[in-house]
Structure 1
């Protein structure tokens, strides 16, 4: 007798997956490869997703962690979507490297806020996670000591500013919305004069994906978040699902990462994806469940997204325009690094 597969109700979160900043960063690498030809160097993972990075490597992208790993070259060097400290483009300029900045515009917004506060004489509190590339890049916009990092309510309680009347706060763009509200409220309680951003720093994509997970998690027995373990926004989605009462909430990069001992006897499943996870991996996960269940898929949408960011200027040119520029550079080697 052929066993009948059980039915599994799948609630598919929308929005999910790539945000506008991630699309822009990946497109910048692919466009650079097309216009300049391989290799194209990328400092740090362009976005935090192994599948994306490996696909770009196959096309000729070379990923490095520091500029010191980049040889003397006229090939472009791309900065990742997370942003970099000011010392990085300064080092690149000193080496006459051609650089393309793929920093997400919403991260750049935070950088500019920090500079404005600093110029106005304010000490800056950054709410974020220690060591995350975005945090390293944001703190690196200003002289050492100008930005103080807080991660927890305990950090807020222990923080002693130089002047409590001259304070400002900014935040990492990929934080838990609920956690950040608590920390910001604590800062405002301790320091009533503290100045915040005109528009919150947590990006629209992070907020929207967390709201979708909040809507789905209480309705399902288990939840899968498709994303990388070093992706801040993906990690936050798993935490949100857990806090909303979902009994099993797991972050997986690929279908092969699913522990079927946890998902083998469920009747309902929620699926979401972090902002750097491609849709093909969501489909891969659904296909894996379809091998074991008859799926009844329902999309749960909590927001519409239509945000678009233009590509960096260096990769907007038509191929024929770029070819002319490269020919001109070849004829005048002294200008080659300034194409």
Structure 2
């Protein structure tokens, strides 16, 4: 038997669950424990197949609309946020609902409302159709928010009053891509009102910085996360931009050893909605084929936590 080839695994830190994801999952778990199954969840609580399947096994029922929920069972709104019309409908039906919207997404909603109340025309930098974008645009009347997805969109945007424009952003975007769009807007509208604090969340920024640190040293980058997870997709893009061959994988079962053949150094990270157990599974699969040395590359410390809603906090 020939000796296994040596392989250095650079493990990005921070990686995996952020405070908003952790809070959202806990809300569903505690709702099931308190109220019994089924507990309905409007949209996937977070964008990770493994998390959704585990919660489904506990008694969560995932739906896309309140029309699919009975009046007499609890419903949880996902971490991505919902349009204002959704809690309004739930209140009208006297439903018990729990809002698992990430507090950092709620902050963007508050900013958008503040700009609207000040009479500004609002630009939202984000990806069309993503639930967070749908939720943010749904905080205000139709037509109050203009979606900008690219630098070209920013250059083509024609506001009613160029001196009275504001922007907010989706929280899970590429930091670098967003900076380019913001620069294009500022070049055209020097007085554009910006967020008090960066809208792209700390966890997205930290995970992208960690990927840049390891991708610069690795031939291959493995990003653990689901294909509908915006922040996970962005991590793969950041890795490719830094020069690594990047693969987005749900778990170790889809990892192809040929992707790593000939590589001496592989980076591993996980999107903000991917459980740590999936990271260990990927390392174990690599260790079965190679003589693996794991090096953790720590680029930031995260201490953020978010309070649970009072209904399930006890």
CA RMSD after TM alignment: 0.8
Question: How many residues in Structure 1 have an aligned counterpart in Structure 2?
Answer: 314
2:267 aligned with 1:259, yes or no?
A: no
What do the CA deviations read for 1:271-291 (whole angstroms, capped 9, x no partner)? 011000000000111111011
Cα pair 2:219 2:243 within 8 Å, conserved: no
Note the C-alpha offset of 1:44. Answer: 0.4
What SS does the aligned partner of 2:206 have?
Answer: helix
SS at match of 1:13: strand
Partners of 1:261 and 1:271 lie apart in 2 by 16
> After TM superposition, where is structure 1 displaced by more than 4 Å over at least 4 residues in a row?
none
Q: Which residue matches 2:84?
A: 86
CA shift for structure 1 position 7: 1.1
Q: CA contact under 8 A between 2:126 and 2:149: conserved in structure 1?
A: yes
Q: Where does 1:1-339 land on structure 2 (aligned, <5 Å)?
A: 2-73=1-72, 75-246=73-244, 248-317=245-314
- Given the two structures, how large is their TM-score scaled by the length of structure 1? 0.92
Query: Aligned partners of 1:261, 1:156: CA distance in 2, in Å?
Result: 41
The separation in 2 between residues aligned to 1:80 and 1:14, in whole angstroms, is 26
Runs of 5+ unmatched residues, structure 1:
318-339
Distance of 2:175 and 2:295 partners within structure 1: 25
Structure 2 unaligned residues grouped into runs of 5+: none
CA shift, 1:176, in A, is 0.3
1:3 positional shift: 2.2
Q: Deviation per CA, 1:10-52: give whole Å up to 9, x if none.
A: 0000000000000000000001111111111000000000000
CA distance in 2, matches of 1:177, 1:60: 37
Partner of 2:8: helix, strand, or coil? strand
SS in 2 for 1:250: strand
Tell me how far apart the structure 1 counterparts of residues 279 and 300 of structure 2 sit (CA, whole Å).
Answer: 19
Answer whether contact 2:12 2:210 (CA < 8 A) is retained: yes
Q: Report the 3-state secondary structure (helix = DSSP H, G, I; strand = E; otherwise coil) of the residue aligned with 1:170.
A: strand
Q: What is the DSSP-based 3-state SS (H/G/I as helix, E as strand, rest coil) of the residue aligned with 1:229?
A: coil
Structure 1 residues 233-291: Cα deviation after superposition (integer angstroms, max 9, x where no partner): 00000000000011x11000011111222223321100011000000000111111011
Secondary structure of the 1:308 match is coil
CA distance in 2 between partners of 1:77 and 1:63 (Å): 9
Q: Determine helix, strand or coil for the equivalent of 1:291.
A: helix
Q: Distance in 1 between matches of 2:115 and 2:39?
A: 36
State the 1:157 CA deviation.
Answer: 1.1
